[in-house]
Structure 1
Amino acid sequence: AKKDFIKLYGAILRLQNILSAFDEFKGNEILTERDTQDYHSLYIDLYNEFRKTGDEEKEVINDDLVFEMELIKQVEINIDYILELVKKYHKDHIKNKEILVDINKAIDATIGLRNKKDLILQFIDSLDAHSVVDEAWQTYIETKRREELDEIIKQENLNPEETYKFMQNAFLNGYITTTGTDFAKVLPPISRFSPTGERSKKRERVLNKLTLFFERFFTISSGKI
């Protein structure tokens, strides 16, 4: 049943992609926005379930199963849309639970927001009657970003100044680079008596944590750390 859904919804995505080029299609969609978000969410869940561990961009799971992830990404919702919903929810004195349902569905249906869901929901919980959503969001995200980076530095015993400098460059450039000596400066000294491969494992672990951190915050915060 899962594979049947993947094939069928993939076909729907391809058809929608073609029809979206025609004005006649606009406003005549069969699926409601909520239905689309539900199906997107399930499709992404199945993608995560079927793909092989460590091959995050793999779209062809086997000869029989292809995921149309690029088509999913084309209709992704951004953080601005979510914040507009948050404003509406806040304006209604945080009473309209339907808006909260919409927020959850929109996040689950968007690959780029799933790793930020806890941040968004915690932010909503932090709002009070006097909050100005846009300002509160920027302050909240800057605080959370510092907290999480400081936690990585603490966990891995990294050089704080070099780590901040390294991530600052990543946020300015829009990507993490490991060429040159900048990343090496982030890492703590490893004793020459350490087991073979220890530095390589440390490097890989730290890089993974910093990459996840970057992916979590890059699209929802300003360029400065």
Structure 2
Amino acid sequence: MEGFTDVITGEARRGFMEVVSELEQRFPDPSNIEKEADKKAFAKLFGEYLRVENILQNYDEFASLKALQNVDISDSEAVEAFKADHYLDDDKFAELQSIRLPTERKVQDYRSTYNDIREWQRRQKSAEDKEKSTIEWDDVVFEVDLLKSQEINLDYILELIFEHNKKTKSKADLVDEVRRVIRASLGNRAKESLVVDFINQTDLDQIGEKATVIEAFFAFAQAEQQREAEELITAESLNAEEARRYITTSLKREFASDAGTELNTLLPKMSPLNPQYLTKKQSVFQKIAAFVDKFKGVGGKV
């Protein structure tokens, strides 16, 4: 039976260790990637990492390898317990030790930067006044489905707040840690400010269990949703009843649409021939779309 190292080098387009090594050597701090050529190189390389990792998820040895990252190798009892739990002999254990994984925190940083570059590149494509880029992106495929397959759900993030608050009494440190996790998430990035506001405005020490922190967040989020909806309606002089109906529908389907006439009915009275009409319509749509991304899934009413 082939070993785990054979699986890595035989089934992946490149050896897993080579991909990890190149990532760490070329991009030790992914947050400092600024040049477009470097953004493209990172996107291609981390996309390769995601594809290789997806293949390895099918092997029990990979789960053992990830679990090994949390074992204190200097603790002989912990090592023996790990080997027993994962049915490893000395040779298999040595094989796993020879394979280096990036830390969970580093992978979160990579995912965050990968998501940032994907959003940046999408904005660049749609910007009408951007200068013609000299970098060709057609050969870069963003692995959205692979990101979604390993998505961190909101409940997990909230439970993480509960656990980390017990370890650190510094809200600043807690916010930094939670920002890192949220930015690595594809579906919850829009909720970053909402979760951070919840941390800063809530006495987390009074929350005694994980279920309570989830309840507290959703109560907070629903109140914020109502408040921000009213602010948006007032600031943009929207027709309140139509605006609430449109926003409610958009929240239910989890996206805003500018197709049809729904959006037109909530806009302030203005002739479609007015040069500012389309600008106003697009501005309102973008703000509502951002609102929906932020509050979808929290429940409540607007």
TM range (shorter): 0.7 to 0.9
Query: Identity percentage over the alignment?
Result: 33
Cα RMSD, aligned residues only: 2.9
Secondary structure in structure 1 of the residue aligned to 2:296: helix
CA contact (8 A) 2:254 2:293 kept: no
Show the counterpart of 1:201: 279
* Change beyond 3 A, Cα 1:65–1:181: closer
Show the counterpart of 1:76: 151
Show the counterpart of 1:166: 246
* Change beyond 3 A, Cα 1:51–1:135: closer
Q: Normalised by the size of structure 1, how large is the TM-score?
A: 0.82
**Bigger radius of gyration, 1 or 2?**
2
Show the counterpart of 1:28: 65
Deviations 1:98-121 (A, max 9, x none): 655432221121132222212111
Show the counterpart of 1:138: 218
Corresponding residue pairs, total? 219
Secondary structure in structure 2 of the residue aligned to 1:115: helix
Give unpaired runs (5+ residues) of structure 2: 1-25, 27-37, 67-100, 128-135
Show the counterpart of 1:37: 108
* Change beyond 3 A, Cα 1:53–1:223: farther
Deviations 1:121-165 (A, max 9, x none): 111111213344233212211121112111211121001122112
Deviation at 1:215, TM superposition (A): 1.0
Show the counterpart of 1:217: 295
Does residue 196 of structure 2 align to residue 121 of structure 1? yes
CA contact (8 A) 2:165 2:174 kept: no
Q: For 1:149, give the aligned amino acid.
A: A
Q: For 1:7, give the aligned amino acid.
A: K
Counterpart selection for 1:6 from 43, 50, 64: 43
Deviations 1:166-186 (A, max 9, x none): 212222333434455433321
* Change beyond 3 A, Cα 1:209–1:130: same
Flag the structure with more relative contact order, 1 or 2, with Cα contacts below 8 A and sequence separation at least 6: 1
Counterpart selection for 1:46 from 117, 123, 135: 117
Q: Normalised by the size of structure 2, how large is the TM-score?
A: 0.63
Moved more, 197-206 or 78-87: 197-206
Does residue 229 of structure 2 align to residue 152 of structure 1? no
